[in-house]
């Protein structure tokens, strides 16, 4: 005989657990005790003929322990996910099992009965009511598992469904062997010790399947919680990027406003430069007016110089006549030269008259020019005075307008800058708070990632165990062909035993009727003897 240790939490951990978990742990232990008691009673070789239970009992024990290890692994996974309890190993309950037994796993976790309720905060659609009817059947269970597996991704759902199907297959095999074991009760076993009165295999299988369904739904809910946290983290990152974009847009708008302010400043500088240019032009025109005045004075000086030149020419002409008289008296010998000189003198006279005419004309032209120049000068001075006054008025108006525009722009820009600064401060505060939230979310994300890695490692280990169990189940399924003949023989034997049981029941009933009849006769005789004894005693007492 081998002894197999079943996992059970100690009293301190049970005291820290919630009520439904403690009740379910007790229910698990009671169910295991009843199953192993039933196996021990059915495995008693004194109540069976040779070879009836030799092949079925090891398979049943193996499947029971595989079911226990699988259920314990799933419960351990549920406990790791929910974080509600930790299992402390305590070899308190030990059972003796006949035959060779190779358990796949010695680790376990508390039994989770179908009466539990899974509550997940902040998820309205993840509430699972565990008070539903237990008679849903395998079809409804598989349908609900398929519906719950839709919440997972494609790759995860396939592995998840394969694990569930292998688990349900193991449960169905255990149920089938339990039914066969129920049918193969020995004829000498009393009816009152049947499994239906103490433990119903169908109800236990349904409860086990329903408990497994609840555990799997708990895993799905935890996955949805992680998925929701990941979505919140992504939404927070999107909001942060949006706020960063809004901040960059506000900064670009502020830069645009600064550029506009610089443009207005440059416009004002250009207008000031234009005003300076107009002032320079006015000064240049004034200098031109002064230059024209100087030219006019120069023309007057030239006219005076020409008049003086004419006077000198007249004086020279008088001097030339006196020289001619002296020369004519002194140069008698040179008559020919005198003639030439006379001709020259005549030419000079003509030139003198022409020069006088030209001087007169020039004086007239000069007087006309002076008059026109004076009139033009007066007109220009008047025009320039009027234009200068108008330009001064316009420049003052433009300066006033520019000052007003400058003050208005400065006020608007200051208001806009103040509003932008307020908005930037608010956004900086919001960004600071969002950065804090982002740090918190990053920490939570790291924690969730660590938990996810742990869960992935646990899932991988569970998948490895399930693969080993699948291989073992396939090996067991391969041996079902040889056990089918034995099953047929067992069914025929069971039919014969049932007939024999019916016959023995009839014999027992007949014997019981005979015994009751004999007891009634004995009671009548005892009553008769008792009455006779009482009469005899009364007579004896009266005689004395």
User: Among the ranges 91-100, 262-271, 520-529, which has the highest mean pLDDT value?
Assistant: 520-529
Residue scoring higher pLDDT (521 or 230): 521
Q: Is the pTM of this model over 0.85?
A: no
Q: Which residues pair with 96 in a beta bridge?
A: 3
The H or E element that residue 28 is part of is helix 19-42
278's CB contacts (< 8 A; 6+ apart) are 391, 395
Cβ 454 vs Cβ 80: under 8 Å:
yes
Poorest-pLDDT segment among 93-97, 148-152, 496-500, 530-534: 93-97
Label residue 23 exposed, middle or buried (CB < 10 Å: 0-12, 13-18, 19+).
middle
Query: Would you say residue 233 has pLDDT above 70?
Result: yes
The 10 Å Cβ neighbour count of residue 444 is 13
DSSP string, 57-71: HHHHHHHHHHHHHHH
The 10s digit of each residue's pLDDT in 373-410 is 778 778 877 877 787 788 778 778 877 887 888 788 78
Q: How far, in Å, CA of 441 to CA of 444, rounded? A: 5
Structure tokens at 62: 């193996």
Q: How far, in Å, CA of 198 to CA of 543, rounded? A: 64
Cβ 52 vs Cβ 184: under 8 Å:
yes
The 10s digit of each residue's pLDDT in 106-117 is 333 333 333 333
Domains of the chain, by residue range, sit at: 2-225+456-483, 243-442, 484-544
Q: How far, in Å, CA of 101 to CA of 407, rounded? A: 98
Query: Residue 188: helix, strand or coil by DSSP?
Result: coil
Query: Residue 126: helix, strand or coil by DSSP?
Result: helix
Residue scoring higher pLDDT (196 or 326): 326
Angle formed at CA 88 by CA 83 and CA 92, multiple of 5 degrees: 140
Cβ 39 vs Cβ 61: under 8 Å:
yes
Poorest-pLDDT segment among 24-33, 118-127, 280-289, 421-430: 118-127
Rounded mean pLDDT, 477-496: 82
Torsion angle (degrees, nearest 10) of CA 226, 227, 229, 234: 140
Q: Fill in the DSSP letter of residue 125.
A: G
Average pLDDT, the chain: 65
How far are the Cα atoms of 53, 173, 180, 481, 490 from residue 486, in angstroms, in the given order? Answer: 11, 17, 12, 9, 6
């Amino acid at each position: 005989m081998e002894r197999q240790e079943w996992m059970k939490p100690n009293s301190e951990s049970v005291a820290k657990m919630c009520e439904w978990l403690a009740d379910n742990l007790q229910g698990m232990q009671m169910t295991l005790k009843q199953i192993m008691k039933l196996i021990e009673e059915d495995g008693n070789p004194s109540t069976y003929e040779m070879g009836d239970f030799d092949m079925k009992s090891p398979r049943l024990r193996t499947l029971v322990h595989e079911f226990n290890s699988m259920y314990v692994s799933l419960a351990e996974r549920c406990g790791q996910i929910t974080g509600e309890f930790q299992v402390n190993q305590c070899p308190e309950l030990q059972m003796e099992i006949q035959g060779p037994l190779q358990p796949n796993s010695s680790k376990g976790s508390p039994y989770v009965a179908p009466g539990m309720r899974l509550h997940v905060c902040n998820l309205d659609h993840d509430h699972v009511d565990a008070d539903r009817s237990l008679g849903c059947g395998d079809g409804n269970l598989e349908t609900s598992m398929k519906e719950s597996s839709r919440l997972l991704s494609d790759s995860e759902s396939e592995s998840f469904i394969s694990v569930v199907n292998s688990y349900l297959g193991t449960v169905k095999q255990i149920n089938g062997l339990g039914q066969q074991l129920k049918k193969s009760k020995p004829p000498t076993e009393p009816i009152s010790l049947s499994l239906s009165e103490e433990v119903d295999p169908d109800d236990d299988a349904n409860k086990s399947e329903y408990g497994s369904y609840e555990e799997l739904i708990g895993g799905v809910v935890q996955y949805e919680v992680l998925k929701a946290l990941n979505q919140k983290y992504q939404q927070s990152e999107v909001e942060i990027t949006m706020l960063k974009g809004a901040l960059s847009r506000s900064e670009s708008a502020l830069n645009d406003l600064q550029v506009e302010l610089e443009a207005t400043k440059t416009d004002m500088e250009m207008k000031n430069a234009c005003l300076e240019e107009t002032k320079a032009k006015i000064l240049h025109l004034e200098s031109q007016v002064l230059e024209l005045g100087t030219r006019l004075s120069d023309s007057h000086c030239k006219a005076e110089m020409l008049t003086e030149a004419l006077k000198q020419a007249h004086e020279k002409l008088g001097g030339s006549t006196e020289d001619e008289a002296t020369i004519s008296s002194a140069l008698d010998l040179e008559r020919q030269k005198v003639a030439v000189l006379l001709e020259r003198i005549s030419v000079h006279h003509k030139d003198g008259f022409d020069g006088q005419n030209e001087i007169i004309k020039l004086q007239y032209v000069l007087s006309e020019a002076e008059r026109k120049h004076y009139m033009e000068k007066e007109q220009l001075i008047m025009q320039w005075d009027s234009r200068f006054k108008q330009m001064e008025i316009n420049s003052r108006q433009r300066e006033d307008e520019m000052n007003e525009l400058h003050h208005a722009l400065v006020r608007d820009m200051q208001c806009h800058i103040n509003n932008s600064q307020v908005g930037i401060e608010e956004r900086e505060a919001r960004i600071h708070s969002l950065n804090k939230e982002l740090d918190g979310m990053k920490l939570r994300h790291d924690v969730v990632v660590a938990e996810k890695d742990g869960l992935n490692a646990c899932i991988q280990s569970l998948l490895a165990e399930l693969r080993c169990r699948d291989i073992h189940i396939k090996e067991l399924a391969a041996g079902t062909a040889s056990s089918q003949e034995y099953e047929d023989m067992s069914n025929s034997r069971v039919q014969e035993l049932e007939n024999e049981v019916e016959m023995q029941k009839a014999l027992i009933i007949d014997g019981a009727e005979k015994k009751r009849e004999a007891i009634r006769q004995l009671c009548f005789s005892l009553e008769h003897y008792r009455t006779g004894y009482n009469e005899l005693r009364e007579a004896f007492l009266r005689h004395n």
